[in-house]
Structure 1
């Protein structure tokens, strides 16, 4: 029986630990917090998981909350008319809703991680509540066949060197501010469709609104991504949750009044329902070398951390876990050496590279052909649907999104099909 240590109890670490456990591996999971501390703590993220990532959970029979969480069937995009907020509330230049082929869901990580951690322990897994330092891993690497580092913050991440060729940004590209709320009304245009809403305010930032399941039941997430130094970059140092929500709503009233109109009755889900911060999108070398010479393999956002503007964090974590799980099981009793570690990461990077390329493109001001695509989606439903389903399979953006000629050819093809 092979012994594996997983450090970090987020989406990827827990999915791998539970998956290996079900295959008969001897798994130790290290977390710096107990399940109760996670459940009663502050929100850790926004998350909206699309069909492929949800299927990885179903395959491991870990979809415990699927029947309770809202089923997100659409993804909408609204664009504020540039400069329209100078004299008063902004006006919409574009507004459409794309339909997802398979529904998405958002489950507060406090609910999921706490529940999964308890399941791991109940099934006989060794759960160690301890913040791991490099020195700890140096010791453990001699007693385990494989050490996986899935804790995306803190000193452990520094073991993995930044890959400059794959990391075009060295500074954060957005200031992030999250509020989990009860009491948000439906969008009047589509009152019966649960949808994620992406509101783009050119030169200012973005507001995402997504239905979710939290510790107190159904809720919605209000998530600002502000361009650093701009009018949305005002949450730094705001400690009071009520002030955080008040600021969120004030900015909504000015920049996305169509979303503010359904938010006049909202209140925070709980005292831990806000989050603010920023980080630079970074791809890292997947193999970390310990002082004693041992090797560890980085997992998910330890090695590929994208900005949340494309909502890919938990999806990527789930896909990384699925890829690593397959590689570990296929390895049998052969050593988990450096060559295997690099090949395992490359297997994940085959999908992750599309996420990174798309996310980095969305952080930059959009070129004319992308504006044309987003505008055309308001007139042509197949374009809206394809854009929405790209959130599940970002590789498809290669076929119609980045290249102006491909984008134009696609629009001609869809327009022709519509005319016919």
Structure 2
């Protein structure tokens, strides 16, 4: 029986641990918090998982909350008319809704990670509640066939050097602020459709609104992404959750009044329902070398950390876990050496590279052909639908998004159909 250590109990770490466990591997999972501490703690993310990532969970029979979580059927894009907020609330220049081929869902990671961790322990997995340092891994690497590091923050990440060629940004490109709320009304344009809403405010930032399932039932996530130093970059140092929500709503009233109109009765789901911070999008070397010479393999956002502007974090974590799990199972009883580790990461990078390229493009001011594309989606439903489904499969953007000539040819084709 092969012995594998997974450090970090997030989406990827738990998905790998449970997948290996169900295939008869002896798995140890290290977490710096218990399931109860996770469940009663602060929100960790703004996860919205699209069809492929959800299917990876179904394949492992880990879709425990599928019947409870809202089924998200589409993705809407609204663009504020540039400068329209200088005299008062902003006006909308663009507003449309694209339909998904397969529904998306969001489950608060406090609910999911706590539930998965308890399942892992109930199924006989060895769960170690302990923050891991490099010295700990040096010791463990001698007693395990493979050590996977999926804890995306802190000292362990420093073992994996930055890949400058794949990391165009050295500074954070957005200041992030999240609120989980109850009491949000439906969008009057599509009152019967649960959708993710992407509101773009040129030169200022973005507001995302998404339905979710949290510890207290159905809720919505309000998520500001502000250009650093701009009018949305006001959450640093705000400790009081009520003040955080008040700031969020005040900014909505000015920059996205069409979303604020349904948020007048919004209240926080709980005191832990807010989050703020920022980080630079970074791709890292996937293999970490320990002081004693042992090797560890980085997982998900340890090695590919994208800005959440394209909602890919938990999706990428699920896809990384699925790719790594397949590589481990196919490898049989052979040694998990550096060559295997790099090949395993490359298998994930085949899909992750499209996420990174698209996300980094969305962080930059949009070129004219992208503005034309987003505008055309308001008149051409197939364009809106294709853009929405790109969130599930970002590789498709290669076909029509980056190159102005491809964009123009695609729009002409749809308009003439």
**Band of TM-score, shorter chain:** over 0.9
Tell me how far 1:62 sits from its aligned partner. 0.1
SS at match of 1:101: strand
* Structure 1 residue 65 displacement after superposition: 0.1
Separation in structure 2 between the aligned mates of residue 270 and residue 188 of structure 1, nearest angstrom: 27
User: Given the two structures, how large is their TM-score scaled by the length of structure 1?
Assistant: 0.99
CA offset digits 1:88-122 (Å, max 9, x no partner): 00000000000000000000000000000000000
Distance in 1 (alpha carbons) for counterparts of 2:30 and 2:80: 45
Partner of 2:234: 234
How far apart are the structure 2 equivalents of 1:390 and 1:214? 26
What SS does structure 2 have at the residue aligned with 1:98? strand
Cα deviation for residue 37 of structure 1 reads: 0.1
Q: 2: distance between equivalents of 1:200 and 1:404?
A: 21
Unaligned runs of 5+ in 1: none
Match of 2:172, SS state, is: coil
Q: Return the alpha-carbon distance in structure 2 between the equivalents of residues 12 and 272 of structure 1.
A: 23
User: Can you list the C-alpha shifts for 1:160-211, whole angstroms capped at 9, x where unaligned?
Assistant: 0000000000000000000000000000000000000000000000000000
Q: Classify the secondary structure of the residue corresponding to 1:199.
A: strand
Aligned to 1:179, what secondary structure does the other structure show?
strand
- Deviation by residue 1:239-287 (Cα, 9 ceiling, x = unmatched): 0000000000000000000000000001000000000000000000000
In the superposition, the TM-score normalised over structure 2's length comes to 1.00
Q: 1:249 matched to which residue of 2? A: 249
| 1:362-397 Cα shifts (integer Å, max 9, x gaps) | 000000000000000000000000000000000000
5+ residue gaps, structure 2 = none
Aligned mates of 2:209, 2:306 — CA distance in 1: 19
**3-state secondary structure, aligned to 2:232:** coil
Per-residue CA deviations over 1:17-41 (Å, capped at 9, x if unaligned) read 0000000000000000000000000
CA distance in 2, matches of 1:70, 1:385: 20
Aligned structure 1 segments of 4 or more residues deviating by more than 6 angstroms: none
Q: Distance in 2 between matches of 1:377 and 1:314?
A: 27
Equivalents in 2 of 1:106, 1:322: separation in Å? 19
Q: CA deviation at 1:146?
A: 0.1
Please name the residue that 1:80 is paired with. Answer: 80
1:313 positional shift: 0.1
Partner of 1:100: 100
> How many angstroms apart in 2 are the aligned matches of 1:413 and 1:328?
44
Q: 1:310 Cα deviation (Å)?
A: 0.1
How far is 1:331 from its partner? 0.3
Q: How far apart are residue 342 of structure 1 and its match?
A: 0.1
Structure 2 counterpart SS, 1:371: helix
In 1, distance between residues paired with 2:416 and 2:187?
30
Which residue number in structure 2 is paired with residue 262 of structure 1?
A: 262
Give the Cα–Cα distance (whole angstroms) in 2 for the partners of residues 246 and 419 of structure 1. Answer: 47
Inter-partner Cα distance in structure 2 for 1:241 and 1:140: 40
Q: State the 1:419 CA deviation.
A: 4.7
Partner of 1:171: 171
What's the offset of the Cα at 1:303?
0.1
CA distance in 2, matches of 1:16, 1:405: 41
Alpha-carbon shift at residue 346 of structure 1 (Å):
0.0
Q: Aligned equivalents of 1:121 and 1:413: distance in 2?
A: 54
Query: 1:319 Cα deviation (Å)?
Result: 0.1
Q: For residues 267 and 251 of structure 2, what CA distance do their matches in structure 1 show? A: 16
The CA distance in 2 between the partners of 1:285 and 1:212, in whole Å, is: 33
- CA deviations 1:274-317 (Å, max 9, x no partner) are 00000000000000000000000000000000000000000000
Equivalent-residue separation in structure 1 for 2:371 and 2:3 (angstroms)? 51
Q: Please name the residue that 2:303 is paired with.
A: 303
Distance in 1 (alpha carbons) for counterparts of 2:288 and 2:378: 47
Q: Distance in 2 between matches of 1:155 and 1:91?
A: 45
Q: CA RMSD in A?
A: 0.4
Q: 3-state DSSP class of the match of 1:184?
A: coil
Indicate the SS of the match to 2:362.
helix
Q: In 1, Cα distance between the equivalents of 2:392 and 2:182?
A: 27
> Distance between the aligned counterparts of 2:45 and 2:23, measured in 1?
29
